[in-house]
Amino acid sequence: MTETVHASARALARVDLGAIERNCARLRAQLAGGAQLCAVVKADGYGHGAVGAARAALTGGASWLAVATAGEAEELRRHGLDARILVMGALTREDARATLAAGAEAVVWDPAFLRALPALLPEGAAPARVHLKLDSGMGRLGARERSRVLELADLVESEPRLELVGAMTHFATADEPGDEHFPLQLERFTALARELKARKPGIVLHAANSAAVFRDPASHFDMARCGVAIYGLDPFQGDPAERGLEPALSLSSYVARVERFEPGESAGYGRTWRADGPTLVATLPIGYGDGWRRGLSNRCDVLIRGRRHPLVGTVSMDNVTVDLGRESDVRVGDEAVLIGAQGAEAIRAEEVAARLGTINYEITCGLSPRVRRLWQAAGES
């Protein structure tokens, strides 16, 4: 068939910043007792773009931002974001220095690290603001005993160049309704929270992730740290609309070629798919180099002209192929949607994740820098 030059991006992620704003407003309304919302924008805003997502989240009602690394905090500051930033991950000495220089707040669970912080402050800087972390059952970072967290609190209070501003934990199974581990973690942190609040009434206590926000208001404390839900992804891997959330990201490519295949002809490496009969096959210039995982070979759909078509053959680094059927009005240059809506049909990140046996935000985090991002502000069409 005749091919034409197509001007659209080969791999394009459109990000609706208005959806992020509205999701944050929805989450704020869900929080009990006037709890604050902390928007988690680590990993480049779960693939949505950290800076744009952060600005949209703050407009939507978030009052804090959270990241995993010092470099992520520095990036937000470079772009003029002056909200309070919490760096949640483990920090080397140089990471800690950069965190403090960015005016961000560090999470602490180790006495030696805590003692080292004052010497890393920039000259003349305000005291380093720290959050103590209890490992209540995640089994990763944090002090495992409540008594140790209280000892850390005493250590902070004894050092004038440190300021105790928060205490936190993180839930391992909040997204598994009915499990027994989440209530146990909540009980452990609540006991610590009471003691810390009695000592320091102004301390900010925070534990809830997106799933916990919807699961149990008792987990909200003074602040909730929401990541996946602010992007309109369902923390329980279901339909985001059931929780009033709007997916913010869509992913598209375009039809670069359409060819008729005869029975037995194959598409892609390894000949993992062969035509059963005469059919039309479209090639889209997107692949695992863009983050469209090879595990989706022969096991996902693509929307073209508002209809679902199966992806066939092996996903390669730069291309995928789609079976259009014996007859089709699809033409070179048509938009192909891999995540998002087209006409009356929609493919959610949750569906793609289910095909891979993973979670929705691994899909968006996995989109590579080669995918062009187009940010749409609230009110734009």
Residues tagged active-site: 42, 269
d(CA 352, CA 301): 9
Sign of the four-CA dihedral 28, 30, 31, 33: positive
Q: Distance of CA 164 to CAs 33, 147, 169, 209, Å?
A: 22, 16, 15, 22
d(CA 189, CA 187): 6
Secondary structure class of 75 (helix, strand, coil): helix
Where b means 16+ CB within 10 Å and e means fewer, 168-196 reads bbbbbbbbeeeeeebeebbebbbebbeeb
Q: Quick check: 376 and 285 in contact, CB under 8 A?
A: no
d(CA 226, CA 174): 12
The DSSP secondary-structure symbol of 123 reads T
Q: Distance of CA 146 to CAs 89, 279, 323, Å?
A: 20, 65, 58
Q: Please count the helices (runs of H) and the strands (runs of E) in the chain.
A: 11, 18
DSSP 149-190: HHHHHHHHHT-TTEEEEEEE---SSTTSTT-SHHHHHHHHHH
Element holding 206 (H helix, E strand): strand 204-206
Neighbours of 126 (CB within 10 A): 11
215-218: Cβ within 8 A, 24+ apart: 215/174, 215/177, 215/182, 216/182, 216/186, 217/32, 217/33, 218/186, 218/190
The CA-CA-CA angle for residues 179, 183, 184, to 5°, reads 105
d(CA 58, CA 68): 18
